[in-house]
């Protein structure tokens, strides 16, 4: 999917425009309301063309002067995006900071669309001609507050998308390795690739900086998403939390299965939960990988203790298998491909309606449905509407009676009946009289 970044100095309205364009995601059913939603990276769509949207304005580097922040944003956009939307403001006119960003963007070897925000009425839309002086072609007047002008802007953006390449990844299972800095992502990727003798190719991203690496294990092709992003080091923004979240989101979007890496030596941190929550919310297959297992003092209870702690801290990931390994000594690294394959299969699993309804009938027969104000919930039948993750519609007499606890009960029945390990399951209640 093409990636579009919005850049511009503070207060021009980047977040407002971002929120207007970003698509809302159907939330995965979950019992942990604490999962954070960082809207720096969001799926979006225009006229049937899907793309991802980045708000680089959300990546702030602590204590850096304004100009450093703006430069970092423009650099991030130039690395991450296929098309850059440079947002300026009609209220302030052309500023020095705008000119600075424009000069940087000349060097980007990517299409740049100039959008002028706060052009709220026809007179103001006449005033945008000053912005031709930025040397970036036609300015597109928009109003984030009113939502006007976005159609024309998006037409221009979509027209610049790179021509669709033949999908090089055919049957390969795409997965990514995410986690906070220093958990050992880069070490694990190297360890996986070191174990696998057949590295087929590096697949260059279209115009982006992402490089995906492909290998084959036991006849199955796999693609590790964005190995370049995992290994790269050095730019000032690369260790900011927001940027690593952005990278993680971008990798998650393109993966079927996500390995969430935790550092056994350092233990579970807040940031680990944040990253794990992103994978869960996106509905991907998830495997929790505890790295640096070589570095902890162990006795016969260590694994059980760490497992209990993970289950307690990541309750919404109760479906994710846990692997204890060492990227350093390669202990158990070779078990990963088979596990990733299994999770990918479960993520795509489809259950026929008749089998599904056998399970439902049994569940309803053994456990009475809940009642509320004297009314009893009835679940008439269920049908799977999609996979990746498996998503089921449950037809009921009254959606208000379908409480979360009962949905979880149904999810557990499905997990007991079929192998859904590693994948979230979504149940959507629908009213049927
Ligand atoms: P990244 O930032 O997540 O990519 O982490 P790196 O792969 O750069 O690793 C961070 C640090 O942890 C480095 O010093 C690694 O040598 C070390 N490290 C990575 N994996 C292991 C492991 O399995 N065991 C031990 N003891 N150290 C590890």
**pLDDT tens digits, 326-352:** 999 999 999 999 999 999 999 999 999
Establish whether 119 is an annotated binding residue.
yes
Report how far ligand 1's centroid is from the alpha carbon of 319 (Å).
26
Q: What is the pLDDT of residue 240?
A: 75
**CA-closest candidate to residue 250, choices 192, 205, 188, 220:** 205
Sheet harboring 199-204: ordered strands across?
A: 199-204, 211-217, 220-224, 173-178, 257-263, 285-291, 322-324
pTM: 0.81
Establish whether 118 is an annotated binding residue.
yes
Indicate whether residue 172 lines ligand 1 (CB < 6 A).
Answer: no
Angle in degrees, 0-180, between the axes of helices 241-253 and 66-80, rounded to the nearest 10: 20
Establish whether 372 is an annotated binding residue.
no
The pLDDT tens digits for 256-314 are 999 999 999 999 998 898 889 888 988 999 999 999 999 999 898 999 999 999 999 99
The domains located in the chain, with CATH, are 3-159 (3.40.50.300), 173-346 (3.40.50.300), 353-431 (3.30.300.20)
φ, ψ dihedrals at 76, nearest 5°: -60, -45
The pLDDT tens digits for 139-169 are 999 998 888 999 999 999 999 998 765 555 5
Tell me what the mean pLDDT of segment 378-404 comes to: 92
Q: Are 275 and 185 in contact (CB under 8 A)?
A: no
Q: What are the structure tokens assigned to 412, written together? A: 């557990």
Tell me what the mean pLDDT of segment 24-48 comes to: 63
Indicate whether residue 182 lines ligand 1 (CB < 6 A).
Answer: yes
Report how far ligand 1's centroid is from the alpha carbon of 387 (Å).
35
Establish whether 35 is an annotated binding residue.
no
Q: Are 111 and 80 in contact (CB under 8 A)?
A: no
Q: Are 265 and 295 in contact (CB under 8 A)?
A: yes
Q: What is the DSSP code string of 374-401?
A: TEEP-EEEEEEEETTTTEEEEEES-GGG
**Which of 20-34, 220-234, 295-309, 340-354 is predicted least confidently?**
20-34
The alpha carbon of 166 is separated from its chain's Cα centroid by a whole number of angstroms, namely: 23
Indicate whether residue 328 lines ligand 1 (CB < 6 A).
Answer: yes
Q: Which residues contact 364 (CB under 8 A, 6 or more apart)?
A: 379
Indicate whether residue 295 lines ligand 1 (CB < 6 A).
Answer: yes
């Amino acid at each position: 999917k093409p990636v579009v970044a919005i850049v511009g100095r503070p207060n021009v309205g980047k977040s407002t425009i971002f929120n207007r364009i970003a698509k809302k995601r159907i939330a995965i059913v979950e019992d942990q309301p604490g999962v954070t939603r960082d809207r720096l990276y969001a799926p979006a769509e225009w006229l049937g063309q899907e793309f991802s949207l980045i708000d680089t304005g959300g990546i702030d580097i602590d204590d850096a002067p304004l100009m450093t922040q703006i430069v970092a944003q423009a650099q991030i956009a130039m690395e991450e995006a296929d098309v850059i939307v440079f947002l300026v403001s009609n209220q302030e006119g052309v500023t020095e900071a705008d000119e600075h960003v424009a000069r940087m963007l000349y060097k980007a070897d990517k299409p740049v669309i100039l959008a002028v925000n706060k052009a709220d009425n026809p007179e103001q839309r006449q005033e945008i001609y000053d912005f031709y002086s930025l040397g970036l072609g036609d300015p597109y007047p928009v109003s984030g507050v009113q939502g006007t002008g976005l159609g024309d802007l998006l037409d221009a953006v979509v027209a610049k998308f790179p021509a669709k390449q033949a999908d090089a990844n055919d049957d390969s299972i795409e997965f990514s390795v995410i986690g906070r800095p220093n958990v050992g992502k880069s070490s694990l990727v190297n360890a996986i690739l070191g174990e696998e003798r057949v590295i087929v190719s590096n697949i260059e991203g279209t115009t982006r900086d992402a490089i995906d690496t492909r290998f084959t294990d036991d006849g199955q092709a796999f693609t590790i998403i964005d190995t370049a992003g995992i290994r790269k080091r050095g730019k000032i923004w690369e260790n900011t939390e927001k940027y690593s979240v952005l990278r993680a989101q971008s990798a998650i979007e393109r993966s079927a299965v996500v390995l969430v890496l935790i550092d056994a030596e350092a233990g579970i941190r807040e940031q680990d939960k944040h990253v794990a929550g992103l994978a869960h919310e996106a509905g991907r297959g998830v495997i929790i990988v505890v790295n640096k297992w070589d570095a902890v003092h162990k006795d016969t209870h260590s694994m059980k203790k760490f497992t209990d702690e993970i289950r307690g801290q990541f309750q919404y990931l109760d479906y994710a298998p846990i692997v204890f390994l060492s990227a350093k000594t390669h202990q158990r690294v070779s078990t990963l491909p088979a596990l990733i394959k299994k999770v990918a299969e479960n993520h795509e699993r489809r259950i026929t309606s008749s089998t599904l309804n056998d399970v439902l009938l049994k569940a309803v027969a053994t456990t009475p449905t809940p009642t509320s104000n004297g009314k009893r919930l009835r679940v008439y039948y269920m049908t799977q509407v999609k996979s990746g993750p498996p998503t089921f519609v449950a037809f009921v007499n009254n959606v208000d009676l379908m409480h979360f606890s009962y949905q979880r009960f149904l999810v557990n029945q499905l997990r007991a009946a079929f192998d859904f390990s590693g994948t979230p399951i979504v149940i959507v209640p629908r009213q049927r009289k």
